[in-house]
Amino acid sequence: MSYPSSLALPLVRFDRGFLAGRARLVRETVIPYQWEALNDRLPGAERSGCVHNLQVAAGEKAGQFHGLFWQDSDLAKWIEAASYRLATHPDPALEATLDRLIVTIAKAQVADGYLNTYFQLVEPQNRWANLRDCHELYVAGHLIEAGVAHFGATGKRTLLDVVCRLADLIARTFGPGPDQLPGYCGHEEIELALVRLARATGVERYRDLALYFIEQRGRSPNYFEAEAARRAGDDGKLPWHMHHDGLATLQAARPVRELTEPVGHAVRMMYLLAAMIDLAGDRHDAPLAAQCRALWQAIVTRHLYLTGGVGTEPYGEKFCEPFDLPPDRAYAETCAAIGVMMCARRLLELELHGGYADVMERALYNNVLSGLALDGRTFFYVNPLEVVPAVAKRRYECHLVKTQRVPWFGCACCPPNVARLFASLGDYAYSQMPDGLAVHLYAEGEAGFQSGTGAVRLLVRTDYPWQGRVEFRIEPEWAAAEFTLHLRIPGWCRQPGLVLNGVAREPGAVDGYARISRIWRSGDRVVLDLPMPVERVRANTRVFAAAGQVALQRGPVVYCVEEADNGPQLSALGLPRDSQLTARPELDLLGGCVVLEGPAVRAATGGALYSTEPVPETPVQLRAVPYALWANRGEGEMRVWLRET
């Protein structure tokens, strides 16, 4: 749905195992729970107001608007998630709920196509008057994505028609014409949404508009400056979150084509890059594709947390200096890591290269999954790599860090973003290639794809990411099918093994994918063996915050130590260079996972604040758990980077 080469969502199934469990949790718990949140029926949670606002705008009830400018986008992302769920797991009750909601949405839409409950109910006179700050086109973008998803899942045009009318209004309003606004949104999203709408409807002008927004962004004279000058009461000061970076916070200080390093608000930067990759691919724009690759390389070689997160500056949720990756002040917003996945997945459309999938997998198993509690009812927005609760609660620069997941947020972008990500996980796992199938993510289940000689089912058995063995069985629609199976060999794997019908062969990965081209027959079996020793990861020495420290990783899973296992004062733990760590399945811990254990040391000085005495260290047994599962056992310290002794 999302990507040209994705398999249709119903053709991908996750049956069993870790990802399947999370996807089921999202399907069965998170989506219904979030519907309650959006209807303000969660006791103790911050009020959403989303459905309420819509009903008021539709004239179905009286009341005041509640929330932020972009409140509608939470609901739009939920509709998108719910639609994906309908695609994979039909559910008449959910479908009816969506149908009723879409009737309300259509009633709320203004005759000219406008739809944004904040501006309709609070500032009708200020439509399109503050594109810099008010996220109007961002909200429209999420509605468009919802419309495309709903259409894809149900075949119904009800919401698609609504969002096409909205997109048509936007296309009439924005552009180079004398009666048009030469503007663009302070928060990118509309661009990638318009590309999706163009792909879904075949209407080229939506893609043209996306291109216009990107080409216009940051051009001189700057639209946001002109807009601010026009606004009555604007004192010329920039909002606080634009501290230091000014319009670069919004990727609008210079033309987009001149960007070489990620700048500004991390989610916006990733959403912008996603749209740029889409356009580079759809329009065969080689310079743009090269720029996208360069920006990606800048991100993953200078700005990426080990957990796959981006954004290190809480003030404005922004990219910061290269290699400035502090673990305690990591912003690493869940949405931004989802943006990393979105870009990686899109880059796999430009070229099948395992490096993209490696980062996508890193973000998924660590930063993104961290956003969701084991029970599916609480969420992280910010995902630090080190937390000392008393300090995180105390320091102003950590005031957005939560030490425990929370039921909802006043600005609740992340929870429904996690929901739509997991509800459409199939989009990320496979690519239909011209010559067969590429497998990017390994999870037990099934995928249906097309070969040149008919449909094929790929059956997968694995306990990934806890075990590295993945078995595939090929079931062609007909007796045989000729195609290439592109199996990703993860970058973290040093000695992959490949067995085809019982015969070992060299994986011979090119660009990170082992390729098996042959005529396949029913029952053909491939076994991929991806040994997962416990790895010690060290950061580039330019990452000053991780100097002398080591992180533990096994397969794609980054580990952390928690107070629950290791006691408080985790900074006092040291991991000797020669300590042998072992991986052990713990079926009853944190929903079932693999823990890492081994000998370590704990430093413990006397009472003096400073001393010239050597620091005595005593041997202790260290236990590390998957980072994504932290903070599921009450409040306590956590850290990813451990001092290496």
Q: Which residues bind a second copy (CB under 8 A)?
A: 243-244, 300-302, 304, 306, 313-315, 320-321, 324, 329, 388, 390-391, 394-397, 399, 492, 535-545, 547-548, 551, 553, 569-572, 574, 603-615, 643, 645
Between 540 and 621, name the residue whose CB sits nearer to a second copy.
540
Query: From the CB of 433, what's the least distance to a second copy, in Å?
Result: 28
Compare residues 182 and 567 and give the one whose CB is closer to a second copy: 567
Q: Which helix (H) or strand (E) element contains residue 424? A: none
CA dist list (Å): 344 to 141, 220, 322, 440, 540: 20, 31, 20, 11, 22
**Residue 23 C-beta-side C-alpha neighbours within 13 Å:** 27
Which residues, 6+ apart, have CB-to-CB distance to 202 below 8 Å? Answer: none
CB of 427 to a second copy, least distance (A): 27
Q: Which two tokens stand for residue 535?
A: 């790895």
Q: Is 413 a catalytic residue?
A: yes
Minimum Å gap between C-beta 36 and a second copy is 32
The CA distances from residue 38 to 117, 305, 411, in Å, are 14, 31, 12
Distance, CA of 312 to CA of 41 (rounded, Å):
34
Look at residues 216, 233, 146, 203 and name the one whose alpha carbon lies nearest to residue 174. Answer: 216
Residue 83 or 549 having the CB closest to a second copy = 549
- Of residues 319 and 428, the one with the C-beta less far from a second copy: 319
Amino acid found at 141: G
Closest CA to 512 of 484, 531, 493: 493
Answer for the pair 352, 438: CB distance below 8 angstroms, yes or no.
yes
In sequence order, what are the beta bridge partners of 625? 560
Tell me the sheet residues that pair with 526: 472, 500
Complex with a second copy: residue 381 or 492, whichever CB lies closer: 492
Of the pair 288, 325, the CB lying nearest a second copy is at 325
Closer to a second copy by CB, 273 or 456: give it: 273
Min dist. Cβ of residue 245 to a second copy (A): 9
Token digits for 398? 């950590």
Among the listed residues 413, 414, 560, 593, the single catalytic one is 413
In the complex with a second copy, which residue's Cβ is closer, 56 or 330? 330
Of 537, 534, 539, 531, which Cα lies nearest the Cα of 598?
534
User: Smallest distance from the beta carbon of 96 to a second copy, in angstroms?
Assistant: 46
- Other CB atoms within a 10 A radius of the CB of residue 357 amount to 27
Per DSSP, 376 falls in state S
> How near is the Cβ of 304 to a second copy at its closest, in Å?
6
Least Cα distance to 590 among 18, 16, 15, 24 occurs for: 18
Residue 164 a catalytic site member: no
Separation between Cα atoms, residue 333 and residue 367, nearest integer Å: 8
**Minimum CB distance to a second copy, residue 164 (Å):** 42
Within 10 angstroms of residue 267's Cβ, the number of other Cβ atoms is 26
Q: How far is the CB of 240 from a second copy (least distance, A)?
A: 9
| Annotated catalytic residue within 95, 145, 317, 361 | 317
* C-alpha to C-alpha distance for 534 and 82, rounded to whole angstroms: 38
| All residues at 6 or more sequence positions from 12 whose CB lies less than 8 Å from its CB, including other chains | 88, 425, 426, 429, 430, 445, 446, 447, 448
Q: Closest separation between CB of residue 493 and a second copy, Å?
A: 11
CA-closest candidate to residue 430, choices 457, 452, 462: 457
Return the SS3 of 451: strand
Nearer to a second copy among residue 329 and residue 345 (C-beta): 329
How near is the Cβ of 598 to a second copy at its closest, in Å?
Answer: 16
* φ, ψ for residue 321, nearest 5 deg: -65, 150
Which sign does the torsion angle of CA 305, 307, 309, 311 carry?
Answer: negative
Q: In the complex with a second copy, which residue's Cβ is closer, 388 or 481? A: 388
- Burial (CB count <10 Å: 0-12, 13-18, 19+), residue 503: exposed
CB-facing half-sphere around the CA of 497: CA atoms within 13 A: 12
How far apart are the C-alpha atoms of 538 and 550, rounded to whole Å? 5
The residues annotated with a catalytic role in the active site are: 317, 413
